[in-house]
Amino acid sequence: MEKAVSEVKVASIFIYPVKSCRGISVSQAHVTPTGFRWDRQWLVVNYKGRAYTQRVEPKLALVEVQLPNEAFLENWEPTESSYLVLKAPGMDLLKISLSTPQEIADGVSVWEWSGAALDEGADASKWFSDYLGKPSRLVRFNAASETRPVDTEYAPGHQIMFSDMYPYMLLSQGSLDAINELLKEPIPVNRFRPNILVNGCEPFSEDLWTDIRIDKLTFQGVKLCSRCKVYFGQHLVWRDSVTGGVKGNVVKVGDLVYVLKMVSSANEAAA
* Terminal Cα distance for the chain, rounded: 25
Residue 63 in domain: yes
Give the domain-ending residue among 91, 112, 141: 141
Looking at the structure, do residues 91 and 178 belong to the same domain, yes or no?
no
Check whether 241 has a pLDDT greater than 90: no
Task: Tell me whether residue 21 is in a domain.
Answer: no
Same structural domain, 76 and 175: no
**Residue 73 belongs to some domain of the structure:** yes
Instruction: Look at residue 128 and tell me whether its pLDDT is greater than 80.
Output: yes
pLDDT at 230: 87
Kindly state whether residue 208 falls inside one of the protein's structural domains: yes
Last residue of some domain: 76, 110, 141? 141
| Residue at 57 is within a domain | yes
The verdict on 124 and 223 lying in the same domain is no
Q: What confidence tier does 245 reach under pLDDT thresholds 50, 70, 90?
A: low
Question: Residue 250: is its pLDDT beyond 90?
Answer: yes
Residue 126 inside a domain? The answer is yes
How confident is residue 261, by pLDDT bands cut at 50, 70 and 90?
very high
Whether residue 118 is found in the same domain as residue 204: no
Other CB atoms within 10 A of residue 58 CB: 10
pLDDT at 248 > cutoff 90? no
Q: Are residues 117 and 75 in the same domain?
A: yes
- Provide the residue range defining the domain that includes 134: 27-141
pLDDT tens figures, 46-93 = 999 999 999 899 999 999 999 999 999 888 999 999 999 999 999 999
pLDDT of 205 over the 50 cut = yes
Same domain, 105 and 180: no
Q: How many structural domains does the chain have?
A: 2
Whether 216 and 123 map to the same domain: the answer is no
Q: What is the DSSP string of the chain?
A: --EEEEEEEEEEEEE-SBTTS--EEESEEEEETTEETTTT-EEEEETTSBBP-TTT-GGGGG-EEE--GGGGSTT----TT-EEEEE-TT---EEEESSPP-EEEEEEEETTEEEEEEE--HHHHHHHHHHHTS-EEEEEE-TTT---B--TTTSTT-B-SSSSSSSEEEEEHHHHHHHHHT-SS---GGGT--SEEEESS-TTGGGGEEEEEETTEEEEEEEEEEETTEEEEEEEEETHHHHT--S--EEETT-EEEEEEE-SSGGGS--
My answer on whether 9 and 107 are in the same domain is no
Question: CA triplet 26, 50, 158: central angle to 5 degrees?
Answer: 55
What's residue 1's pLDDT?
Answer: 42
Q: Looking at the structure, do residues 235 and 157 belong to the same domain, yes or no?
A: yes
pLDDT at position 222 over 70:
yes
pLDDT for position 6: 61
Which tens digit of pLDDT belongs to each residue from 37-51?
A: 999 999 999 999 999
Q: Does 32 lie in the same domain as 125?
A: yes
Q: Is there a domain that residue 258 lies in? A: yes
Do 154 and 263 have their domain in common? yes
Considering the domain architecture, whether residues 7 and 95 belong to the same structural domain is answered as no
Of 97, 120, 141, which closes a domain?
Answer: 141
- For residue 22, being part of any structural domain is answered with no
